[in-house]
Amino acid sequence: MQCLTRATRSTRALDRTKSTASLSLRPFSTSPSHRRLKQVPRLSSWYKPEFEKKAYIPALPARLPRSATEIAPASPKWFTHDADHSLNIINDQDHTIFTPRSSELRTSFWSAHEFITVPLELTSTTPDGGESFQRVEDAPLKLLLTYLSNTGTSQHSIYLAQCDLSSLPKSITNDIPTPSLLQPSSAIKGDIYASSLWLGRPPTYTPLHRDPNPNLFMQLAGRKSLRLLPPEVGNAIFEDVQNHLDRTHNQVSANIRGDEMMAGPEKLVLHNAVWTDNPSANRYADVLATYALETEVELGDALFIPKGWWHSVKGVGEGITASVNWWFR
C-alpha cells in the first residue's frame, strides 16, 4: 500500500497544487497550543459586484456579513430564541444581529407540518461502543420533531440532512427565499442546481467532501463550525485516506454523503484528518495548518463555498441548529 508521510510525501503531492487561495505552499510545524487555522475572509457587504470580484469569479471561499435585508424569515418564525439575547436586527450599516446562545423549535409553527415526509439520518450507539447509521428517505417529520423536543441525552441521533427544498410545502419554503446574490448577473447564470434544508441538534456532522457546483450556505439557527481545503489539497488527503482504507476511487464518490462516510472506519479517519490539529495524532496536521480555512457561522451568517473546495461541517453549541444551502451556477 502506498501512503504519504506527514509533511513529506503529502507535501510532495500538495506542491503540485496551484491553489487559488494564494496560500503558502510550504508546510510548517508549530506546537499544538499555537496551531491556528486561517479564517475564511469576510466580505464587507452583500453587494453583488464585490461578491463576484472577491469570491465567485476567483473561486475563493468568503463569509458574508449578517444583514437585516438578507436574514431569512424562517429564523424568527420557526424557532424560539434564548431570552437573554434579543433577536432584534440593528441595521445593515452595523452588520449586526444579536445572536442567541441557543434556539429551540417554535411548536406553533412545526405542529402544522409534522405529518409530511422527509429524509432523516438515524445514528445510534451500538453495544460495542461503535455506531450504526441509516438514512431513511421517507420518514415522518414528526419523528424528528419528537427527538428535537427532548433536550436530554440520548444514544440516538436524528438529523434532517440534505432535504430538497422542492419536496417541502410552500408554507415552509416561502420562509427561506433564494438570496439576492443568486439572481442572474454578468457572472452568475442564476441557475439553482439544487437547494437543501438541514435541521438537527448538535453534534451533527457532515464528513469531508466536495460539491459539483458553487454553494451558498446560510445559517438559520444555532451554530456550525466548518473547515475547508482547496481542491488539490483536499484531493490529496482524500485519496490518501482511501489508500489507508485499502479502497479505490471506483468504490467511493467524494461528491455524495455516502453511508460509508457516516459510520465506521472511514468516518473516524476522515474526521481525524480534518479536525485534529495535533501533529502527533494527525499525519495531515501540518498540511491543515498551511492550507485549510475555518469559520464558525451563527444565525444570519452566510458562507460561499466554491465548486470543488473540500469541506466538513459540524453542529456545535446548544439548542437547535438549522441551515439552508443553494447549489448554483
Is pLDDT at 24 greater than 80 in this prediction? no
List the end-to-end C-alpha distance of the chain, in Å, as a whole number: 39
* Mean pLDDT over each residue of the chain, to the nearest integer: 83
Task: Express each pLDDT in 153-199 by its tens digit.
Answer: 778 899 999 999 999 999 999 999 999 999 999 899 989 999 999 99
Percentage above 70 pLDDT, the chain? 80
Segment 242-265 mean pLDDT: 63
Q: What mean pLDDT comes out for the span 23-48?
A: 68
pLDDT at 23: 33
For residue 1, is pLDDT > 70?
no
Q: What domains can be seen in the chain, in order of their start residue?
A: 9-328 (2.60.120.650)
| For residue 126, pLDDT beyond 70 | yes
Query: How far, in Å, CA of 59 to CA of 49, rounded?
Result: 14
pLDDT confidence of residue 68: 80
Is the per-residue pLDDT at 149 higher than 60?
yes
